[in-house]
Structure 1
């Protein structure tokens, strides 16, 4: 009797366990009206179009950005492309997630409502009006809000850029830079910070930021600003100066501008800032030769830029390497630049090391520099030509011609081989990667 009761009890417990396991393994069915009609997934940010159909924001915005102006379901032409958040459906989905949390379903977070074109237009109107009335503090608050919204998500950034934000901010920057600079440092720094997030700049923005007052303000930040202000100034200047010779000459004429730029290279703030600074200098030294440009190149040389570039090239990433070599190639057009390169023991080992090692562009610049130095070598003992041979330049150049290269580099490599061949008499080659025993002259 007792034995039979125990069996029955054990059987009941087993049935209970089976029931619980079955429930936990059941698949939860998502209600149809919680699914996006496009992706068929659970909606995380439900929005309703003017047609009355609700979609997940990401899906419908992708549809609209592809150039469609109709509702995917009804095919009805939309009276407005601004979707409206459906708070009722979102709350229902969130409640459903909570109820079904035991099945591993996580509650969707309440999404931040993205900015609308109307809101953007209103904020920009305030920025422009405040810049005209010189309300620096109030303008700074609005710009800070713009920056926060831009950083919030990519959708907001696109909305701001599509509604002329860059031009409006650039106009405000110029307006505040024209009046009392000391009083407007804070708002200018805030605008600059916001602009650095919204590159590339359009023509209108470049015009405002390329004015003498705007450039002078950015130079001030380069010289005396915080690290973040220096970084933002360089990033904006890179787009403003670009290949515009007139703006470059205007920038160079500002007292301390070149020194501030070289300082950012010598005392790096970040890799991004270093790349931007090198690119600006590259634009300057690559402009067609003129008396003004020669003076600029000489100033860079006198500031010790060649020595700094060679130090950087010993160990740097691909992007910085290419830009540093590009600048060095431009500086070696000048006789004083070549003299500085001749005097540095790192020159040939570093340059030869970069050939066929980093990228095609780095190889082209390296060969070009070695060619300039070798072609203009006047020392009877061969100088840099002998150094190039010792660190394996002959073998590298033969490989380069074998693998193939553009005609310009091919001609220089061929000429270099002829120069190197004149000094190949029993010279021992060393590894171009071994810099530890090198000393400066």
Structure 2
């Protein structure tokens, strides 16, 4: 079977020469279609494409490395061609065939065929283990220079291919790097060299998510958390992003939310990133960490008032007005819902003229998740012990079209809790409907603020 390499080539008086010697007449000549046939043994039996990195299996059949690795990773234990069980999964580079393919590409370069570059040799597990042992030793001796050199190797290997990254992670790199980060954080005065190494360690850890339990344990230590907050405040944009993403990874584990809650300076930094975002990634991660802290069963009751005192309620409302990003709106509504769960948060939200109109506006506007948070938040505002507060919230919600939207929520379907609260809200609003004009939510950017 032959493989057709098709290309369009201009006739004898080519594109450039025709312009130069024939006054551009060649530009109007018809294109000729020429076909090159790739030798069959240059093709991968799986993809039927020219092999870039031919490797031979124990069955004696040669495949392109990327294709056969994907085949084996899918759980196959046989040779695709012979269908026999492989005695070994070793992939031996076929240097002779690769050289032949490269020579063929070079010979046909005049026809537009590009020479296949010599592939990088994938990193081996024993190489990764050796470097990780070196990092552990350098951490114990607080040898920053040696550790930086070895971490650089990990970064270099990881940047070469996805296969290398999988190999590095599978051999326990995240635990070793997190242990090193903890060690240097505890012994660092945050000098230029020390900060640089800490940033390198975070950079490598950021492509190893999700981190394993051991890695999270070291990163949740007091010295590590203090160092992460220091980087949030003093690092460059990349360091800040890596640090807040690590915190986001930690905050998803209930075991570490309490440690995060008692980390000095973290709350102020998160609020600063939410109010004045450096980039979208940092803002989203900051909202996620804040949401996890407020929602935590260990410390959530204490965290809400802390963020409320920092005027986060009004800042979230500003974000919901201005942002059109779906993920940002979902996270902001989630945090707002958590803040309204405490009495101080409800008072702040109730005092802000934007709260009810924005919550009603976001219902059925962003996503199912956003709708649920908006409905639950609206219920918390309307379900008040004070009769006056409750009546004012219900009337205000009716005036901006909440009744119609809640009916639609029940029709299109939602989570059980949101459905239950929507039904209760409709019952609470019903006595106040007479004489009130129900209108659709409008753009509230020009509405007078109460702060």
SS across alignment from 1:55: strand
Partner Cα separation in structure 2 for residue 208 and residue 309 of structure 1: 32
Matched, 1:140 2:142: no
Indicate how the Cα distance of structure 1 residues 156 and 433 shifts in structure 2: closer, same or farther if over 3 A, else same: farther
Say whether the 8 Å CA contact 1:167–1:205 is kept in structure 2. yes
The residue number in structure 2 matching 1:276 is 285
Q: TM-score, normalised by structure 1?
A: 0.88
Indicate how the Cα distance of structure 1 residues 160 and 380 shifts in structure 2: closer, same or farther if over 3 A, else same: closer
The residue number in structure 2 matching 1:222 is 232
The residue number in structure 2 matching 1:5 is none
Matched, 1:264 2:273: yes
1:304 to 307, 311, 324: 311
How does 1:171-182 map onto structure 2 within 5 Å?
A: 171-182=179-190
The residue number in structure 2 matching 1:194 is 204
2:136 to 128, 142, 145: 128
Partner Cα separation in structure 1 for residue 301 and residue 34 of structure 2: 78
Q: CA offsets per residue over residues 75-109 of structure 1, 9 Å max, x none?
A: 66656534233333222212212222344333223
Partner Cα separation in structure 1 for residue 325 and residue 69 of structure 2: 37
Q: How many residues align?
A: 417
Q: Which deviates more, 80-89 or 130-139?
A: 80-89
Q: CA offsets per residue over residues 319-345 of structure 1, 9 Å max, x none?
A: 222121111111101111011112222
Say whether the 8 Å CA contact 2:382–2:389 is kept in structure 1. no
Matched, 1:362 2:364: no
Matched, 1:437 2:446: yes
Indicate how the Cα distance of structure 1 residues 80 and 209 shifts in structure 2: closer, same or farther if over 3 A, else same: farther
Indicate how the Cα distance of structure 1 residues 362 and 103 shifts in structure 2: closer, same or farther if over 3 A, else same: same
SS across alignment from 1:197: coil
Larger Rg: 1
2:381 to 373, 379, 389: 373
Shift, 1:381, TM fit: 9.3
Matched, 1:40 2:52: no
Unaligned regions of 5+ residues in structure 2, if any?
Answer: 1-28
How does 1:3-14 map onto structure 2 within 5 Å?
A: none
The residue number in structure 2 matching 1:391 is 400
Runs (4 or more) in structure 1 with deviation over 6 Å come to none
Partner Cα separation in structure 2 for residue 166 and residue 210 of structure 1: 14
1:287 to 296, 309, 313: 296
Shift, 1:274, TM fit: 2.0
Say whether the 8 Å CA contact 1:231–1:269 is kept in structure 2. no
The residue number in structure 1 matching 2:24 is none
Unaligned regions of 5+ residues in structure 1, if any?
Answer: 1-20
Say whether the 8 Å CA contact 2:382–2:390 is kept in structure 1. no
Indicate how the Cα distance of structure 1 residues 380 and 256 shifts in structure 2: closer, same or farther if over 3 A, else same: closer
Say whether the 8 Å CA contact 1:329–1:365 is kept in structure 2. yes
Shift, 1:286, TM fit: 1.3
Matched, 1:106 2:114: yes
Q: CA RMSD in A?
A: 2.4
